[in-house]
Amino acid sequence: MTAALISSIASLRRQLTHVRQANHTIGLVPTMGALHAGHVRLLEQARVDCETVVASIFVNPLQFDRPDDLQRYPRTLEADRELCDRIGVDFVFAPSVDEIYPGAPECTVNVGRLADHLCGRFRPGHFASVATVVMKFFDIVQPQRAYFGEKDAQQLAIIRRMVADLNVPLQVIGIATVREPDGLALSSRNLRLSPEERALATALVRALRQADSAVAAGERDPAAIQRAAVATIPADPALRLEYLELVDPVDMQPVERIDKPVLVAGALWVGSTRLIDNLLSTPKATPQ
């Protein structure tokens, strides 16, 4: 099956009108391209769940806080389309920047306090830009289901809240993080890592697993867990920890004591590449 490559909003809407007239369920997988096995998992689940699958490929300039990061972001449309063909995606929507933003947007989505911590603390405006472009794609495609990776946990929480608060009639489905055999979470940014940096990159998941083990063992003090986890990261000049926090998995706020599942999340610079990862940690049950 060959996925139809569409670049205009009007054309995609025309195509999807026929799909809706046939009462087909539409699944949307929003991506920025450079597709890897993590994206494959999203697309495959959408293919199982839905009669029509739309994969969007759009590198959203508004969510990049550094021009060099936007410039370096991998763009592999032909390879991405071939992958979508193999999975059986129906439509690949790959619009230009001008198609999505014919002018600088004045009206955007306000994501509120869900962006106060984790990545939002270090990237002001990032999640408002993500939520805005995702909302635009929701309006363009009007899917019944939309699929996102749990690796971007803060993004997923914000999108779920946006859908609830704005009464968007769709189901947001989170798909578990796909990892390399050594635990490194798959990311398009991993392509930037040198062999030496790739060997160091697992420091983040090891720190998160240290925190997860402490939570599971019954430690209740987030600060103590954080200190022990941070201490596992090697003192290497190529590594710079941006944050490692324990937050509520729904509202992304720090917790003072662990008495229910928490999200342990971190961001680590490896050379000039910023990696993020997280684990959902469940505390040991207290005997009755």
**Does 86 fall in a domain?**
yes
Same-domain check for residues 39 and 111: yes
Predicted TM-score of the model (pTM): 0.95
60-118 per-position pLDDT tens digit: 999 998 898 999 899 999 999 999 999 999 999 999 999 999 999 999 999 999 999 99
Q: Domain tally for the chain?
A: 2
Question: Within this chain, do residues 150 and 194 fall inside the same structural domain, yes or no?
Answer: no
CATH number of the structural domain spanning residue 221 = 3.30.1300.10
Give yes or no: residues 195 and 83 share one domain: no
In a domain, 284, yes or no: no
Query: Does residue 247 form part of some domain?
Result: yes
Q: Are residues 152 and 196 in the same domain?
A: no
Neighbours of 236 (CB within 10 A): 12
In-domain check, residue 180: no
Q: Which two tokens stand for residue 219?
A: 């430690």
User: Is position 39 annotated as part of the catalytic site?
Assistant: yes
Q: Which two tokens stand for residue 169?
A: 């009639």
The dihedrals phi and psi of 181, each to the nearest 5 degrees, come to -55, -30
- For 22, other C-beta atoms within 10 Å of its C-beta total 9
Residue 288 reports pLDDT greater than 60: no
What is the per-residue pLDDT for 246? 98
Domain of residue 136: give its range: 4-175
CB 147 within 8 A of CB 99: no
Domain of residue 106, CATH code: 3.40.50.620
Residues 44 and 162 in one domain: yes
| Domain edge (last residue) among 122, 143, 175 | 175
183 in any annotated domain: no
How far is C-alpha 185 from the geometric centre of its chain's CA atoms? 11
Residue ending a domain, choose from 154, 175, 196: 175
User: Both 88 and 16 in a single domain?
Assistant: yes
Residue of 18, 39, 117, 126 marked catalytic: 39
> In which region does residue 34 sit, left (phi positive, over 0), alpha (psi from -120 to 50) or beta (all else)?
left
What percentage of residues in the chain have a pLDDT greater than 90? 95
Q: And the tokens for 38?
A: 């993590």
How far apart are the C-alpha atoms of 115 and 252, rounded to whole Å? 8
What is the per-residue pLDDT across 140-186, written as a single tens digit (0 to 9) for each?
Answer: 999 999 999 999 999 999 999 999 999 999 999 999 999 999 999 99
Give the dihedral sign, CA 251/257/260/261: positive
Token look-up 């198609």 returns: 99
Query: Using 50, 70 and 90 to split pLDDT, how confident is the model at 285?
Result: confident
DSSP H helical ranges for 166-250: 195-200, 203-217, 222-230
User: Is the same domain home to 20 and 130?
Assistant: yes
